[in-house]
Amino acid sequence: MTKKKEFILKGIPAAPGITSGKAFLFGREQHAIPRISIKEEEIQNEIRRFKDALIHTKNEILDIKKRISEEMGIEHGQIFSAHLLVIEDSMLIEEVVSKLKKEKLSIEYIFQDVLRRYIKVFSEMDDEYLRERISDINDVGRRILRNLIGAKEDILSDLKEKVIVIAYDLSPSETATMHKKNVIGFVTDIGGRTSHTAIMAKSLEIPAVVGLEIVTKKVESGDIVIVDGTHGIVIVNPSPKTLKKYEADRERFVAFERHLLELKDLPCVTLDGRKIGLSANIEVPEDLPSVIAHGAEGIGLYRTEYFYMNRKDLPTEDEQFKAYSAVAKRVKPHYVIIRTLDLGGDKFLSQLEVPHEMNPFMGWRAIRFCLARPDIFKTQLRAILRASTHGNLKVMYPMISGLDELRQANAILDEAKKELKKRALPFNEDIEVGAMIEVPSAALTSDILAKEVDFFSIGTNDLIQYSLAVDRVNEKIAYLYEPAHPAVLRLIENIIENGHKAGIGVGMCGEMAGDMTMTLILLGLGLDEFSTSPITIPEIKRIIRSVNMEQAREIAKKAITLTTGKEVADYAKKRLREVVSDIVI
């Protein structure tokens, strides 16, 4: 047998950590379904079998939904409501039945045929929202087919040994059935940082890389693979030397994580005593235990859109009030910055009719959508206001592009306050209001905006994509997505300066806040608060605790004079290694 050659694939880091083991190719199973003719009198029986399979599948999904809601929270469970919608799709069912009657072929064959056609039609529509639906249709379709032919499920819960799951895509229901002890890592061809798969990977704390494009074509079951979820790297058929190196890295990572957790209760201060805010980003309230375990001092970004996703109805004021209150109480006395609904871009809500757009990231999204739908916006604002009596809540608007928008949003906030007063419901009248600065026009007019808000939070994920004209979810141009680009640094410097001139605090909640190579520069530019995923908090704290402000300022001053992103990034790493000699970057 010839020895397989080592090769490396680069993808998008979804959940940090390093792991290695045997690959298990998942989801490639194609049931060979023969084209069998049936007699006229068998049609009714085939329809009955189809209906049984639908009921069986529906029950399976309801079970998973219940279990996931209990184990991981209602928001994760809601994902399966979209699956139920597929099962109840009368068009799909009618098409299968009428084709069956016409073509008189076995129900398995007919169903597979219709399913393939559905998927083809959806995939040709080239729409992010519909692409999300494809994975739902695929997932449910595979289940129905399995139930029709009575095949045993190729389930991840049945694994007998530890494996690294390799899949084109992992649907939420598949991710949910993973046997956590035996799935030690996973990698997928598709998916971005904000995909459900990536979100689940983080909450399961299993190292994962997504968006590898070709991994299922390059890896076979049984191949040994290393998954470096921190750097988004997958190494296939590693040599003994590479394996040894990564095993050492893994041990270092684990020891390092443990060591870092010792910092949990220490304050986030520089060597010369400057207090820096260090808070966490959360998607759902179930992320809170991890926030607390990693020693965050508050929530700098609560992305509320997951509340609205994958469900048939809109969340009510009361439902939101309860959720926000629970988070506020849990995090008290620290603050929670609730970001109002940021629909659009790559986040779509199943229950809202949002027309297809050529450029969704630059389209009808975030605050633009909310200002056009004050009914939805005000419901959320009232819920946030009411919850503000239960803790230290602040409210923040996404994607503000100029003063008019900010004023309109504030006017709606005032209306929400008036409505609550009429209902004699208590709320914090002086709730702090902030704007995300993530559009270049807002960055450039931040002096104007700063006069009408209580704080800024820099959303670098969008700020970078808009200022460098690089679609943040397109892996083909990912090399152009440079946080260290001089244009980005200049915008950030401008925002911080303008915020400080107006006497307001400036935080950052984009991924750059968790990019340790940039920490010293951001600190030196005067950033007041870093908000990042819980897992990265201890490392950022360690860096901040290792430097004094004068040194950080000197580093930032030099960085801002450099001429390319690469120069800045190299310089930043060099200086970071000087400050924290054992840092792994």
The span of 27-35, 97-105, 323-331, 460-468 binding ligand PEP (CB under 6 A) equals 460-468
Which one among 438, 493, 515, 539 touches ligand PEP, defined by CB under 6 A?
A: 438
Alpha-carbon distance values, 559 to 461, 482, 486 (Å): 20, 14, 8
Q: How far is the CB of 347 from ligand PEP (least distance, A)?
A: 7
Buried b (16+ CB within 10 A) or exposed e, 140-163: bbbbbbbbbbeeeeeebeebeeeb
CA atoms within 13 A on the CB side of 180: 9
Which one among 446, 460, 498, 532 touches ligand PEP, defined by CB under 6 A?
A: 460
Q: How many residues contact ligand PEP, by CB under 6 A? A: 10
The phi and psi torsions of 109 (rounded to 5 degrees) equal: -65, -45
Which one among 360, 459, 526, 534 touches ligand PEP, defined by CB under 6 A?
A: 459
What's at 12, amino acid-wise?
A: I
196 is catalytic: yes
Question: Residue 141 has which token pair?
Answer: 């379709």
Of 263, 324, 284, nearest in space to 544 by CA:
263
287 binds ligand PEP (CB under 6 A): no
303 binds ligand PEP (CB under 6 A): yes
Nearest-angstrom CA–CA distance, 519 and 525 = 10
In the bound state with Mg ion, the residue whose beta carbon lies nearer, of 143 and 193, is 193
String of DSSP letters for 384-403: HHHHGGGSEEEEEESS--SH
Q: How far is the CB of 436 from ligand PEP (least distance, A)?
A: 7
SS (H, E, C) 301-320: EEEHHHHCCCCCCCCCHHHH
Nearest-angstrom CA–CA distance, 271 and 192 = 37
Q: How far is the CB of 384 from ligand PEP (least distance, A)?
A: 17
Q: How far is the CB of 547 from ligand PEP (least distance, A)?
A: 24
Question: Residue 297 has which token pair?
Answer: 């001092």
- Residue 427: which residues within 8 A CB-CB, separation 6 or more? 385, 386, 388, 389, 417, 420
Q: How far is the CB of 52 from ligand PEP (least distance, A)?
A: 43
In the bound state with ligand PEP, the residue whose beta carbon lies nearer, of 216 and 533, is 533
Check the CA dihedral 402-407-408-410 and report its sign. Answer: positive
Displacement of CA 330 from its chain's centroid (Å): 22
Per DSSP, the three-state class of 339 is strand
CB distance 409 to 398 below 8 Å: no
- Residue 313: which residues within 8 A CB-CB, separation 6 or more? 351
- Residues forming contacts to Mg ion in the complex (CB under 5 A) are 438, 459, 462
In the bound state with ligand PEP, the residue whose beta carbon lies nearer, of 139 and 511, is 511
Q: How far is the CB of 520 from Mg ion (least distance, A)?
A: 24
482 binds ligand PEP (CB under 6 A): no
The span of 207-215, 251-259, 458-466, 535-543 binding ligand PEP (CB under 6 A) equals 458-466
Alpha-carbon distance values, 379 to 213, 283, 320, 339, 404 (Å): 40, 19, 9, 14, 21
CB distance 283 to 199 below 8 Å: yes
Nearest-10 Cα torsion for 10, 16, 20, 22: -80
Displacement of CA 395 from its chain's centroid (Å): 21
The span of 73-81, 169-177, 453-461, 554-562 binding ligand PEP (CB under 6 A) equals 453-461
- Per CB under 6 A, contacts with ligand PEP among 502-541 are 509-510
Q: How far is the CB of 460 from ligand PEP (least distance, A)?
A: 5
In the bound state with ligand PEP, the residue whose beta carbon lies nearer, of 189 and 438, is 438
Q: How far is the CB of 461 from Mg ion (least distance, A)?
A: 5
Q: How far is the CB of 462 from Mg ion (least distance, A)?
A: 4
In the bound state with ligand PEP, the residue whose beta carbon lies nearer, of 310 and 460, is 460
Per DSSP, the three-state class of 510 is coil
**Active-site choice (83, 196, 334, 390):** 196
Per DSSP, the three-state class of 137 is helix
Q: How far is the CB of 332 from ligand PEP (least distance, A)?
A: 23
Read off the DSSP letter of residue 242. H
Of 537, 101, 559, nearest in space to 279 by CA:
537
The span of 160-168, 246-254, 351-359, 454-462 binding ligand PEP (CB under 6 A) equals 454-462
Instruction: Note if the bond before 207 is cis, omega within 30 degrees.
Output: no
In the bound state with ligand PEP, the residue whose beta carbon lies nearer, of 95 and 346, is 346
- Per CB under 6 A, contacts with ligand PEP among 331-370 are 342
Nearest-angstrom CA–CA distance, 462 and 115 = 36
CB atoms inside a 10 Å sphere around CB 218:
16
Helices 43-72/74-87 angle, 10° precision: 170
In the bound state with ligand PEP, the residue whose beta carbon lies nearer, of 303 and 542, is 303
Owner of token pair 């609205």: 308
Question: Residue 296 has which token pair?
Answer: 């965050």
In the bound state with ligand PEP, the residue whose beta carbon lies nearer, of 19 and 197, is 197
What positions carry a catalytic annotation? 196, 509
Q: Which residues of this protein are in contact with ligand PEP, per CB under 6 A?
A: 301, 303, 342, 438, 459-462, 509-510
